[in-house]
A and B are shown apart, each in its own frame.
Chain A
Amino acid sequence: MKIGSHELKLEKRVTLSGTEAALISVLAIFFALALFSLLFLLAGINPLIAYQKIFSYAFANPFGLPLTINRSIFLLLCTFAFIIPFRAGLWNIGTTGQLYAGSLCAFGVVVAFGGKTFNSAYYSPALLIPLMLIAACLGGALYGAIAGYLRGRFNVNEIVVTMMLNFISFWLVSFMIKEGGPFMKSGGEGESFGLPASIFAPLIKGVPFTIFIAVGLAVLLYYMFAKTKIGYQIKAYGLSPAAARYAGIQTLMIPLLVFIMAGAMAGLAGYHYFAAVPGVYKIPKNYGYFGDLAFYGIICGLISQGNPIAAIPVALLFGGLSVGGRFVQGELHMSFGVDYALLGVLMISLVAFQFFYRYKIEWVKTKKERLDVGILR
């Protein structure tokens, strides 16, 4: 395309620097928010007011801020569950199923210690909370391992597998907590029993301790990808599984390993929401909503370009946006699902912006040769 003496030229990127990637990601988010303001306009709402309300509720409101922080911890863990396989070129869209599996295992520990039948008794938090965490990790990891094993051993498409596993575990949760299932609250309304008060996760200034786990894991994962042999092998596998095999990397091990790690992260996310967020402490009736939220992890992972540290601010932003979106939906009398719509719009704008990760547009000054030739003639 030519404009005046300059030409708009498309060039394939050879490398993508960190700042460039960050810039594109920020642009993609802004583009999505601009696109999303169309929905506000269609609902007859001034988008600026809507965004102002979203952000002030999510980040500056005594009720909204704790919700944002809790949700961001959850999203961050879900993001890790996406990032780790993504680095190996694999798509884990089974965070939902893995987090259900982890949560069921964590609640299973409580049942095993009698926490369901003797709900008001005292249980030692020093024993039970670590056990619940381990169970959540193991449950998620085992569930994730199915997809990893099938991918590594039989080369089965992991997208279909993880999605099937999502639906299986969705119905398993229903089975466990509804219609007389083993975890059902007695006389309850299709939700699980509540945790005994003594094993509520400890809060530090109102924030569950899981925040330290999440942030610690970000650093650990960053280190793993940057400095360790295993991180290098994962990346090598992601670039080319065939080449990795020639380099002596076991092609069964890597998919299995990344999905085990991802499942453990998802299990932790499940523990966090159902056993550590103040006011929940059970697997609620609408557990499907939390499973759906896990899909934000995919977007966080794509926007942060698989970088676990960069995922922290992104998760915080999206946590706030989804909490604030829910809030303005009620406040401005919008239809249900503002946070879902935001999820969709963010995703599609991100897809469009994938283009810019591969190409760059450059202003090139057109040469004046032709003009000179004309004068000479």
Chain B
Amino acid sequence: MWEFFARSLEASTIFTFAALGELINQRSGVINVGIEGVMLFGATAGFITAQTTGSYLLGFLVGIAIGALLGLLHGFVSITLGVDQVVSGMGIWIFGFGLTTYIGNPFTGPLGMERIPTIFGLSPFFYIGIVLVVVSWFVLSKTNLGLQIRSVGENPSVAEVSGINVSRTRYLCVIFGGMLMGLAGAIYSLDYNPVWNYNFIMGWGFIALALVFFSMWNPLTLLAGSILFGTLWQLSLNPQLVLPGVLSRYIWRTVPFAITLGALVFMSTKWFRTRWGAAKPEALGQPYIKE
């Protein structure tokens, strides 16, 4: 049973990193629906690097770097060029999905390296993730930088007038968010499940996107949500732990997605919106064009 919880927490770590990246993005007013694509890229690039060089560190660094590059791309297209953010994010997702299938294919199979050592039975990234969540919460809600980021996401023209460089702040968030998403992918392919397979992220990125909506844009709630979904995911892979022999394993695989749907609907009800909905960044998804 401990084994199961440990794996669940490790799965939740990946959700935490990816969703935290997206949360920081969205707090600055930029939505990136291409998390899945960034994760696929980070995972594939990290996997290939680690396997060819034999160094985990390099693998993770490359994963982070490619995430930063894709974040920069999304920023350039959606902040500088002012293209619809959804179009750009979709582009990044399909770009990642298509290209990594081709690039990673010769590397199909297990990583074949010694596993990353655990700390108290858990992947070290679990602890890093928790620290990162707390730090992000602190920075976003207690510091000047956080105030800048939030004001850019709420009302960019007012922010600009009060002396904040809107584009620069957004670029910062988009690139940092991309790094976290790329790292999330690399954690998946190097630590959680070190086997390369075509399109192996299988919807994690989209669940991470939904998690940001659930979290009411608060990193601490996000952590709780990721742990819940990490456990759910692990449960859907090993249903025999709870209800042995009930339903086909394929039906269990649909459960995390169905619950995501249910939670999304619940969150969008009028009751919930009037009570909690004010947390959504006001300028989310709107390109800011300096007059």
A and B pair up:
yes
Cβ A337 vs Cβ B82 within 8 A: no
Cβ A340 vs Cβ B250 within 8 A: no
A39, A163, A178: the one contacting B206 at CB < 8 Å is A163
Total A residues in contact with B, Cβ cutoff 8 Å: 47
Cβ A335 vs Cβ B102 within 8 A: yes
**For the complex, what is the distance from the CA of A117 to the CA of B265, rounded to whole Å?**
41
A160, A181, A343: the one contacting B248 at CB < 8 Å is A181
B190-211 Cβ-contact flags toward A at 8 Å (1 or 0): 0000000011001100110110
Cβ A351 vs Cβ B254 within 8 A: no
Residue of B nearest to A159 (CB): B33
Q: Which of A329-353 contact B (CB under 8 A)?
A: 335-338, 340-345, 347-348, 350-352
CB distance from A58 to the nearest CB of B (A): 18
Given contacts A160-B209, A336-B102, A337-B101, whether A354 and B83 have CB atoms under 8 Å apart is yes
A297-329 Cβ-contact flags toward B at 8 Å (1 or 0): 011001000000000000000000000000000
B88, B92, B209, B254: the one contacting A167 at CB < 8 Å is B254
Stretch binding the partner chain, chosen from A169-177, A236-244, A268-276: A169-177
**For the complex, what is the distance from the CA of A340 to the CA of B203, rounded to whole Å?**
17
**For the complex, what is the distance from the CA of A341 to the CA of B83, rounded to whole Å?**
23
CB distance from B90 to the nearest CB of A (A): 7
Kindly list chain B residues whose C-beta atoms are within 8 Å of the C-beta of A164.
203, 206-207, 210, 257-258, 260-261
Given contacts A159-B86, A171-B251, A175-B251, whether A341 and B77 have CB atoms under 8 Å apart is no
Cβ A168 vs Cβ B257 within 8 A: yes
Cβ A295 vs Cβ B97 within 8 A: yes
B83, B88, B101, B261: the one contacting A340 at CB < 8 Å is B101
Cβ A344 vs Cβ B95 within 8 A: yes
**For the complex, what is the distance from the CA of A271 to the CA of B142, rounded to whole Å?**
56
Q: Does B213 contact A (CB under 8 A)?
A: yes
Residue of B nearest to A341 (CB): B102
Q: Does B110 contact A (CB under 8 A)?
A: no
* Interface SS majority for chain B: helix
A9-49 Cβ-contact flags toward B at 8 Å (1 or 0): 00000000000000000000000000000010000000000
**For the complex, what is the distance from the CA of A295 to the CA of B249, rounded to whole Å?**
27
Stretch binding the partner chain, chosen from A150-158, A194-202, A218-226, A366-374: A150-158
Q: Does A254 contact B (CB under 8 A)?
A: no
By size class, the interface of chain B is 35 or more
**For the complex, what is the distance from the CA of A166 to the CA of B105, rounded to whole Å?**
23
CB distance from A374 to the nearest CB of B (A): 33
Cβ A154 vs Cβ B209 within 8 A: no
**For the complex, what is the distance from the CA of A358 to the CA of B98, rounded to whole Å?**
27
Q: Does A217 contact B (CB under 8 A)?
A: no
Cβ A347 vs Cβ B86 within 8 A: no
Q: Does B264 contact A (CB under 8 A)?
A: yes
Most chain B Cβ neighbours within 10 Å, of A163, A174, A298, A335: A163
**For the complex, what is the distance from the CA of A179 to the CA of B269, rounded to whole Å?**
39
Most chain B Cβ neighbours within 10 Å, of A91, A338, A350, A354: A354
Kindly list chain A residues whose C-beta atoms are within 8 Å of the C-beta of B253.
167, 171, 174
CB distance from A171 to the nearest CB of B (A): 4
Q: Does B268 contact A (CB under 8 A)?
A: yes
Cβ B254 vs Cβ A172 within 8 A: yes
Q: Does A355 contact B (CB under 8 A)?
A: yes
Kindly list chain B residues whose C-beta atoms are within 8 Å of the C-beta of A179.
248-250
**For the complex, what is the distance from the CA of A160 to the CA of B19, rounded to whole Å?**
14
**For the complex, what is the distance from the CA of A154 to the CA of B277, rounded to whole Å?**
13
A156, A342, A350: the one contacting B91 at CB < 8 Å is A350
Q: Which of B229-266 contact A (CB under 8 A)?
A: 248-251, 253-254, 257-258, 260-261, 264-265
* Interface SS majority for chain A: helix
A181, A298, A341: the one contacting B90 at CB < 8 Å is A298
Cβ A178 vs Cβ B268 within 8 A: no
Q: Does A161 contact B (CB under 8 A)?
A: yes
A39, A156, A163: the one contacting B268 at CB < 8 Å is A156
Q: Does A88 contact B (CB under 8 A)?
A: no
CB distance from B24 to the nearest CB of A (A): 19
B83, B206, B210, B268: the one contacting A154 at CB < 8 Å is B268
Given contacts A157-B213, A168-B258, A335-B106, whether A298 and B251 have CB atoms under 8 Å apart is no
**For the complex, what is the distance from the CA of A344 to the CA of B37, rounded to whole Å?**
10
Q: Does A75 contact B (CB under 8 A)?
A: no
**For the complex, what is the distance from the CA of A219 to the CA of B121, rounded to whole Å?**
62
Q: Does B164 contact A (CB under 8 A)?
A: no
Cβ B94 vs Cβ A298 within 8 A: yes
Cβ B98 vs Cβ A341 within 8 A: yes
Q: Which of B152-174 contact A (CB under 8 A)?
A: none
Instruction: Knowing that A91-B90, A298-B90, A338-B102 touch, tell me 10 more A-B residue pairs with CB under 8 angstroms.
Output: A159-B206, A164-B207, A167-B202, A181-B248, A299-B94, A341-B99, A344-B95, A354-B77, A354-B84, A355-B77
Q: Which residues of A contact B (CB under 8 A)?
A: 39, 91, 93, 150, 154-157, 159-161, 163-168, 171-172, 174-175, 178-179, 181, 292, 295, 298-299, 302, 335-338, 340-345, 347-348, 350-352, 354-355, 358
- A-B contacts, 28 listed (Cβ < 8 Å): A93-B90, A150-B261, A154-B268, A156-B264, A156-B265, A157-B264, A159-B33, A159-B86, A165-B257, A171-B250, A172-B250, A181-B250, A292-B97, A299-B94, A338-B102, A340-B98, A344-B95, A344-B96, A351-B90, A351-B92, A351-B95, A352-B77, A354-B77, A354-B81, A354-B84, A355-B81, A355-B83, A358-B82
